[in-house]
Chain A
Amino acid sequence: MSMSLPPASGGVDAGLVVDPEVHGVSLWRGAVRRLRRNPTAIVGALIVLAFVVLAVIAPLLTSYEPGSAEWAGDVTPTSVPGPSEDHWLGLDRFGSDMWTQMVYGARQSLVYGVVSTAIGLAAGATLGALAGGFGAVGGRFGGWVDTTVMRCVDVMLSIPSLLLAVSIAAVLGQNSYAVMIAIGTAQVPIFARLLRGSMLSQGKADYVLAADALGLRKGRIVMSHVLPNSVGPTIVQATLNLATAIIEVAALSYLGLGTSDPAVAEWGRMLVAAQDRFDAAPRLAVLPGVAIAITALGFTLFGEAMREALDPRTRR
């Protein structure tokens, strides 16, 4: 630790006059600084950014409509027209422009991924905060609330996540909302357990004891001290879950539980449709598959770099 100035006469301020590079940097600002220096984080962020931009400006990138099947006459069982001047990725097996399908597919994946993760995060974090909050500061019913909530989470965890999503999607029917709610619900236990865990460990920290000794109300301690200090891992997990959500949406489509609207371009369904034309046009399967993998890679790289940046053990 390098002191940049000799101790001031007051004495009280002395401790504050230290290298701002080492101290005085908040957890989050420090994390952002470390992220900017990490090549993995930059690659991940660039992939995510490219994906989001493609998804948002999709209508500007193509002059065709998704799922139009305008050129269905050009597609035969043995041949699918490849790249040409009008269609630089060729046509798909239903006679729609492949590039249009791909960019609108990105849009669909982004919406599905973000909304389902938001559902999972909102519900899971609420449950986790409830269990963790009551568990951390006790109170007469603290342990009881914690146990009840976590037993419910255990029930959800007793079903493998994709099967949980499958059973929910089967009840809600074949539409976009069903897919998002199903994938979101399957994520609830992950967030609930994670947030509860970090809140319980924060609850044992000295500053909570200090706040308690100062006579702060328990609700206040949880909301303004324990919770803000516990959300880091949960936010990181949400980034990582975006990758899983995008893959699982495609998996539900693959299992025939996605939306059945032909005007909606969706990577998972494109993959299914391409299977029986693999000999004629392997790109129909490879393009959406690789797109899913690259998008998932972007969120995974960025999420892991974020976890590393927020981890106090790796801070330098």
Chain B
Amino acid sequence: MLRFVSRRLALMVPVLVGLSLLLFAWVRALPGDPARALLGERATPDGIARVNAAYGFDQPLFVQYFTYVKALLHGDFGSSIQTGRPVMDSFLERFPATIELGFAALLLAVVVGVPLGYLAARHQGRALDTAVVSGSLLGVVTPVFFLAILLKLVFADQLHWLPTAQRQNPRIEATHITNFYVLDGLMTREWDAAWDALVHLALPAIALGTIPLAIIVRITRASVAEVMHEDYVRTAESKGLTATVISRRHILRNALLPVVTTIGLQAGLLFSGAVLTETVFSFNGIGQYLFEAIGQRDYPVLQGFIICIAIVYSLINLLVDVAYGVIDPRVRAS
């Protein structure tokens, strides 16, 4: 197991080196010289000279690259050209919001998706199955931002059931320790603050969770349908085991293997979707900040956020691989 993990960790190194090269080249590929790109419309000859000296753009390329990597290794991901704040600070400040949202979306997808997929597989070809399969298809093809806009307009703007924007009502007094608002509310026993954060989370989580939900339903259904006809299930049946024991110990446990992998693969989808969902609901996470950075062409922020997201994303994939290795010993051997 240790060897498996260390080999997977070692594989991350070339990827991260490649990524740093790519992102380094990316800023140099921006139209015009990098100093002008970094300064945007406020570029003056004086400013350009200052930026060139500050960022070392007058140095040879390989020197620049090593300076860049050295800064990265020291946790320096550059600063916003709009606010001058270090990118890393803004990222860490907003990241809990996105994790909270992504976790809520994924939780929804798993809690609703696995049972639905299981039921559909057990009732193959009947009305329930048809409804679940059609519903999941609809979920896959509906653009996240369209769904988010519809949910917001119907449930928030028209019906006023749920809040339209933000993570918490600013008028509620809430102590923030971890910046996971729901968790903060629970930890400080400020129940109304926790509830308010949860209510604010509902619509964005549904919008973001729909595609993962649809995918999990489909995978669970396919996987359960396949396992149901395995020889060992027939053996269990002929041994006279009860239906509950068979479905829990023999069908579900084996059928959930591919589902676990799928859940891990949703991470990328969640990051992409978060940019859109957070924008629609003005949910103050990394997605919305990224959207603002795109609008303002704040390249250091884009560069810094993308490398941060890529590192987190690679780590999540590593965790998924390890988890899969724990569940299925055959993976470790290969």
Contact A278-B153, Cβ < 8 Å, known A160-B268, A163-B271: yes
- CB neighbors of B among A231-250 (8 A): 243, 247, 250
Q: Which residues of A contact B138 (CB under 8 A)?
A: 293, 297
Total A-B pairs, Cβ < 8 A = 117
Chain B binding surface, main DSSP class: helix
Q: Which residues of B contact A171 (CB under 8 A)?
A: 26, 29-31
Q: Is the CB of B143 within 8 A of A163?
A: no
Q: What is the minimal beta-carbon distance from A177 to any residue of chain B, in angstroms?
A: 14
Q: 1/0 contact trace for A151-164 toward B, CB 8 Å?
A: 11011001111110
Which B-chain residue is minimally distant from A294 (CB atoms)? B141
Q: Which residues of A contact B291 (CB under 8 A)?
A: 255
Which of the residues A151, A257, A279, A285 comes within 8 Å of B15, measured between beta carbons?
Answer: A151
A292 within 8 A of B: yes
A301 within 8 A of B: yes
B35 within 8 A of A: no
Q: What is the minimal beta-carbon distance from B23 to any residue of chain A, in angstroms?
A: 8
Q: Which residues of B contact A166 (CB under 8 A)?
A: 275, 290, 294, 302
Q: Which residues of A contact B19 (CB under 8 A)?
A: 155, 158-159
Q: Is the CB of A293 within 8 A of B143?
A: yes
Which of the residues B26, B30, B137, B275 comes within 8 Å of A300, measured between beta carbons?
Answer: B137
Q: How far is the CA of A294 from the CA of B141 in the complex (A)?
A: 8
Contact A256-B294, Cβ < 8 Å, known A155-B18, A159-B313, A167-B26: yes
Q: What is the minimal beta-carbon distance from B215 to any residue of chain A, in angstroms?
A: 12
A296 within 8 A of B: yes
Which of the residues B31, B142, B268, B294 comes within 8 Å of A255, measured between beta carbons?
Answer: B294
Q: How far is the CA of A301 from the CA of B141 in the complex (A)?
A: 10
Q: Which residues of A contact B141 (CB under 8 A)?
A: 243, 247, 293-294, 296-297, 300
Q: How far is the CA of A293 from the CA of B314 in the complex (A)?
A: 31
A82 within 8 A of B: no
Q: How far is the CA of A159 from the CA of B267 in the complex (A)?
A: 11
Q: How far is the CA of A130 from the CA of B268 in the complex (A)?
A: 26
Q: 1/0 contact trace for B247-289 toward A, CB 8 Å?
A: 0000000000000000000011101110110010000000000
B187 within 8 A of A: no
- CB neighbors of B among A111-158 (8 A): 151-152, 154-155, 158
Q: How large is the interface on B (under 10, 10 to 19, 20 to 34, 35 or more residues)?
A: 35 or more
Which of the residues A158, A271, A297 comes within 8 Å of B146, measured between beta carbons?
Answer: A271
Q: Is the CB of B143 within 8 A of A250?
A: yes
Q: How far is the CA of A237 from the CA of B276 in the complex (A)?
A: 25
Q: What is the minimal beta-carbon distance from B259 to any residue of chain A, in angstroms?
A: 19
Q: Is the CB of B142 within 8 A of A293?
A: yes
Contact A297-B18, Cβ < 8 Å, known A160-B268, A161-B268, A282-B153: no
Q: How far is the CA of A275 from the CA of B276 in the complex (A)?
A: 14
Q: 1/0 contact trace for A165-178 toward B, CB 8 Å?
A: 01100110100000
Q: Which residues of A contact B61 (CB under 8 A)?
A: none
A59 within 8 A of B: no
Contact A160-B142, Cβ < 8 Å, known A256-B294, A300-B137: no
Q: Which residues of B contact A297 (CB under 8 A)?
A: 137-138, 141
Q: What is the minimal beta-carbon distance from B30 to any residue of chain A, in angstroms?
A: 6
Q: Is the CB of B157 within 8 A of A170?
A: no
Q: Which residues of B contact A30 (CB under 8 A)?
A: none
A289 within 8 A of B: yes
Q: How far is the CA of A181 from the CA of B22 in the complex (A)?
A: 17
Q: What is the minimal beta-carbon distance from A157 to any residue of chain B, in angstroms?
A: 8
Q: 1/0 contact trace for A246-273 toward B, CB 8 Å?
A: 0100110011110000000000000100
Which of the residues B18, B279, B294, B313 comes within 8 Å of A160, measured between beta carbons?
Answer: B313
Q: How far is the CA of A172 from the CA of B96 in the complex (A)?
A: 31
Q: Is the CB of A251 within 8 A of B143?
A: yes
Q: How far is the CA of A160 from the CA of B16 in the complex (A)?
A: 14
Contact A247-B26, Cβ < 8 Å, known A159-B19, A163-B306, A256-B294: no
Q: Is the CB of A275 within 8 A of B149?
A: yes
Q: Which residues of B contact A292 (CB under 8 A)?
A: 143, 146
Q: Is the CB of A285 within 8 A of B153?
A: yes
Q: Is the CB of A256 within 8 A of B295?
A: yes
Q: What is the minimal beta-carbon distance from A304 to any residue of chain B, in angstroms?
A: 9
Q: Which residues of B contact A152 (CB under 8 A)?
A: 18
Q: How far is the CA of A243 from the CA of B142 in the complex (A)?
A: 10
Q: How far is the CA of A285 from the CA of B14 in the complex (A)?
A: 45
B57 within 8 A of A: no
- CB neighbors of A among B223-252 (8 A): none
Q: What is the minimal beta-carbon distance from A75 to any residue of chain B, in angstroms?
A: 19
Q: Which residues of A contact B1 (CB under 8 A)?
A: none
Residues of chain B touching chain A, judged by Cβ–Cβ distance below 8 Å, are 11, 14-16, 18-19, 22, 26, 29-31, 137-138, 140-146, 149-150, 153, 157, 267-269, 271-273, 275-276, 279, 290-291, 294-295, 297, 299, 302, 306, 309-310, 313-314
Would you list the 10 A-B pairs with minimal beta carbon distance, nearest first?
A: A162-B272, A155-B18, A289-B146, A296-B141, A160-B268, A160-B271, A297-B141, A158-B310, A160-B272, A247-B143
7 extra interchain contacts, Cβ-Cβ under 8 A, other than A160-B268, A163-B272? A158-B314, A159-B306, A166-B275, A167-B306, A282-B153, A292-B143, A293-B142
- A sample of 26 cross-chain residue pairs with beta-carbon separation below 8 angstroms, ordered by A number, consists of A155-B15, A155-B19, A158-B15, A158-B16, A159-B310, A159-B313, A160-B271, A160-B272, A163-B275, A163-B309, A166-B302, A167-B302, A170-B299, A171-B29, A171-B30, A254-B276, A255-B279, A255-B291, A271-B146, A275-B149, A278-B157, A285-B149, A292-B143, A292-B146, A294-B141, A296-B141
